[in-house]
Structure 1
Amino acid sequence: MGFRGRTVAALMALTAVTACVATYAVLEFPRWNGIATGTAVWGNGQTQEGLRQSEIDKLNKAVSLIEKRYLLPADRNRLLDGALQGMVESLSDPYSIYKSADEADAYVDALQGAFTGIGAELRMEKGAVVVEAPIRGSPAERAGLQSRDVLLSINGESLYGLSLSEAIAKIRGPKGTKAKLKVQRAGRAEPLDLELVRDRIDPIAVGSEVGEDGIGHLFINQFTSETASQVAEELEAMKSQGLKALVIDVRNNPGGYLQSVVEVADQLLEKGKPIVQSEYRDGQRKVDVAEHGAKNGERYPLVVLINKGSASASEILAGALKQSAGAVLVGDTSYGKGTVQVHFNSELGDDSLIKLTVYKWLLPDGTWINEQGLKPDVPVAQPDYFLAWRLPRDRVLKLDSTGGDIGNLQTILSGVGYPTDRTDGYYSEKTKQAVERFQADESLPKTGEVDSATAQRLEEKLYSIIQDKTNDAQWQTALAEARKLLESSESP
């Protein structure tokens, strides 16, 4: 059975290639040590609301010096935006950002609805554009982009040192246009060259299916304002199909609204069970629990699929289900983001926007997984060909060629059923013969060389194989674990 699912009309959480992965909260702030929000605690123990007069004077003097002595005319609005940008950047927090009034509208618009681009969640880290996760079915996923890849350039233009919005503006573009990326991947000495074709990105946030054995597969791609209601609908549909055990798939889910994930967990846990703890800067904690809980007889054996692209809100769900419902975690260690952000879009008095990290989130037992991630109970690596990337289109790969692209080709050939004698990046005679066999079977010119047409057909075959769940080692393991749990729950 194929997935049930829906396309979200307005994606109100982080959407592809728009912003850094995050868990967002809409909340009223407590008072920290008797000090209301916006009040700073200085090193001498005194409190100060906003800037001191001496600090205001210093900023005014700096503006005056620039206006009077700088060689070229200065734009006052840009000076102010630069000062605010610098304040936020001085926090050394990749999840806190400032957007000027000119940028804020585009930033908010980018958080909603479908768009055209490559389909990858991005964030900034020390001036570099870092991939959080590719979106399911997107050009980024098909090209082999992975979590934590660093994007060095787009169509020959360096991305280093740009703001996130500036980088996104260069990466996005009309449907059908090419985006040539230079990508640095951990463990590889040389950057990868990937050529993607931009497409409309309209991701399905939630979908499900139920097998004949009663084991359901619920995937959640992100936590939007609509995710909880969609999960409720999918659960009802699965129950009508005889749901007995459930595998929840949050692989490459970069996060979203905190309230959304709390409402999703509430549907799966026993009433009163803890979901997540929030720790404020003074150490005070708030615990969210399942207020309604799953209905009697509707709590199922649970398995959660995670990988290194599972971050923030998806880690909250996985951790809550593990610790409060005994779920088994399968896959790779998750991303490891344990903070929550809030957008402030009216506090600055104009149309500019500031997003700040406001507190930590902790697992039900109080563990903070930031920069550590959740470790799976059953670690499972995907086959090597799941990590393959897009073949080059600007040159032909042929006999006696060497390099990373050749090694990638050999991995792809093995994945589509045409193994070679080596995978070390040397285009051997056996590699040529494997290419010839593939070309013959696909009615392509039998050249033994990988040109654009052969590369395209290889990638199409590989993508089809990767989408086949029988080849998904993590899913197959999760399915086996769900069967074990089901058998155990049905034993007298």
Structure 2
Amino acid sequence: MLLRGRTVLGLMAGTAVVACAATVGVLSWTNETPLWSAARTQHVQTDDSPASRPGHGLWDERQWDKLDKALALIGSKALQTPDGDKLLDGAIKGIVGALSDPYSDYIPSKEADKYTDKLRGTFSGIGAKLEPDGDLFVVVDLMKDSPAERAGLRLKDVLLSVNGQSLSGLSLEEATAKVRGPKGTKAKLVVRRPGTEAPLHLELVREVLDYKTVGSELGADGVGRLWISSFTFDTGERVAQELEKLEAGGMKALVLDVRHNPGGVLASVLDVASQFVPGGRTIVVYASADGVQQPEKATGEPERGKPYPVVVLIDHETASAAEILAGALKMTIGATLVGETTYGKGTVQISYEDLGDGSLVKLTVSKWLLPDGTSIDRRGVRPDAEVVQPDYFAAVRLTRGQVLKQDQIGDEVRNLQLLLAGAGCPADRQDGYFSEGTREAVAKFQRLSGLPETGAVDDATAERLEAASFAAKQDEAHDKQWQEAHALALQAAGVGGKAR
């Protein structure tokens, strides 16, 4: 979950001030142009107490001297002419990175706008958000019906390269720039997926994307469906608009879908939860490093919630703020959770803009707990009704420029077998061996699709097969989790549904 703030408190204050004071003012001890413009001594108070020093005592004189000497060496000995701004950005990024927290980061001013693109409007790309993990980049968000989602990219996938160019060691801005690009251009990705040995090869076509985070529909039976793909600044307002339409249509029960939702802005999830939870009831509890716990309560009228039952759809990719919403609705209004255990991200980040040049420092500042005080970090929120999707929901695009044929083995063949199942032409196995049964399934699909009946998979067959499998995943009749949630919503509303 992400907040934005302008006041640095506690550890963040120390870290942010160190980031500034430790790197803003060291002179190169040579006759050359100083690397940075001010001397560190200008920022040190006359009082020697730790609280009066830059960094609130995180560094002592020995550590400051070490930094001075390192910069002096760079300024006087480095073959390449040092760029002060680059050194400054690198120093701050290194300090934040030394926290060993995957969710804390420094975003230079030139990257800050791109970092918040999805919160502000449209952009051209593939619809996947990345976050750094060491020298690599992990997918942490996927836009609904985007090229990335249609290609089968998944949360936690690691992007190794784009169009043959490695992402290892790049900044977030550089990696994002390689993934994004003009509409209609191709992005050939090499992806490492947890639990899969061989890298995946995906080819996507970039599109202009409107980051729509909320949508809804109302069935003829009175069951409404409201999906939230992530929590942006206006998600609360969008949810209110969608609920108003559903309720005006006579909605009898609601299925709230937060599958594949990686979280987002804290204020938005509180706004959304307050539309369901009676005023005064606890939505989430924040636990700071010193053990102090601060509850956040629903706003609005006490004891006034919704008059209809709520079922919440969750999965392994439901994370952070989305987990807060699911847990809060379960514990405060008795919502039923359907699907799979959630991701388990139980920490809070704040994005600070205190460095004066538009750059951001995003830091983990606290843990969050469910209303009863339970931590879900690394454990997740468990569903009341566990439902696993068909295997073919995990299928991705096939690598282009190759032909898959009988007697081949490997992850590409297993992915082919999953796609065949999704397209309605299942093979005799799904273990990655291209058997005679797999060849027959491919030939059947080609025959039904009007393609040459070769039994081998070339680019034309792969493209048609992926489209058919993706369409099957979009069909609610094949979505086991939705079917279960829908039946339970009907039952809770007293209009039918299966007995449990």
Q: Is TM > 0.5 for Structure 1 vs Structure 2?
A: yes
Partner of 1:4: none
TM score, norm. by length of structure 2: 0.86
Deviation at 1:128, TM superposition (A): 2.1
Q: Could you tell me which residue of structure 1 aligns to residue 338 of structure 2?
A: 330
Q: CA deviation at 1:219?
A: 0.6
Measured at CA, do residues 27 and 294 of structure 1 come closer, stay the same or move farther in structure 2, by a change above 3 Å? farther
Within the candidate set 400, 406, 412, 1:399 is matched to 406
Give the Cα separation in 2 of the matches to 1:219 and 1:469. Answer: 14
Indicate yes or no: 2:318 matched with 1:300.
no
* Counterpart residue type for residue 441 of structure 1: L
**Whole-Å separation in 1 of the counterparts to 2:8 and 2:113:** 25
Q: 1:296: Cα distance to partner? A: 4.9
Overall identity of the aligned pairs, in %: 51
Larger radius of gyration: 2
Pick from 188, 198, 206: which aligns with 2:206?
198
Task: Return the match for 1:449 from 453, 456, 469.
Answer: 456
In structure 2, C-alpha distance between the alignment counterparts of 1:319 and 1:27, rounded to whole Å: 29
2:117, 2:123 within 8 Å by CA — same for their partners in 1?
Answer: no
User: For structure 1, which segment, 203-212 or 81-90, has the greater mean C-alpha deviation from structure 2 after superposition?
Assistant: 203-212
Q: Quick check: 1:318–1:329 contact (8 Å CA) kept in 2?
A: yes
Structure 1 353/160 Cα, relative in aligned 2: closer, same or farther at 3 Å? same
SS of 2:120's equivalent in the other structure is: coil
Which of 356, 361, 385 aligns to 2:363? It is: 356
Equivalent residue, structure 1, for 2:2? 23
Q: What is the number of equivalent residue pairs in this alignment? A: 463
Contact 2:277 2:304 survives alignment (8 Å): no
Normalising by the residue count of structure 1, what TM-score does the alignment of the two structures yield?
0.88
Q: Deviations over 1:269-298 (max 9, x none)?
A: 122211111122222222111221588573
Q: Does 1:483 align with 2:490?
A: yes
Q: Which has the higher contact order (CA 8 A, sep 6+)?
A: 1
In the alignment, does 2:430 pair up with 1:423?
yes
321-330 or 397-406: bigger deviation: 397-406
Q: CA deviation at 1:432?
A: 2.0
1:399–1:427 CA contact under 8 A, matched in 2 = yes
Q: Determine the C-alpha separation between the residues in 2 that align with 1:30 and 1:400.
A: 62
Aligned pairs (5 A) from 1:43-442: 47-51=51-55, 55-109=63-117, 111-293=119-301, 296=304, 298-345=306-353, 347-442=354-449
Amino acid at match of 1:173: G
1:280-324 deviation per Cα after TM superposition (whole angstroms, max 9, x unaligned) = 222222211122158857332111111122111111100100111
Distance 1:384 1:282, change over 3 A: same
Q: Which runs of 5+ in 2 are unaligned?
A: 19-48
In 2, are the aligned partners of 1:25 and 1:259 still within 8 Å (CA)?
no
Shift of 1:71: 2.7
Q: Report the Cα offset of residue 478 of structure 1.
A: 0.8
1:38 and 1:50 in contact (8 A); partners too: no
Q: Cα 1:76–1:36, aligned 2, differ >3 Å: closer, same or farther?
A: closer
1:462 corresponds to: 469
Contact 1:120 1:140 in 2 (8 A): yes
**Quick check: 1:101–1:352 contact (8 Å CA) kept in 2?**
yes
DSSP 3-state at the match of 2:377 = coil
What secondary structure sits across from 1:204 in the alignment?
coil
Q: CA deviation at 1:100?
A: 2.5
Shift of 1:36: 9.7
Cα–Cα, structure 1 residues 68 and 30, in superposed 2: closer, same or farther, change >3 Å? closer
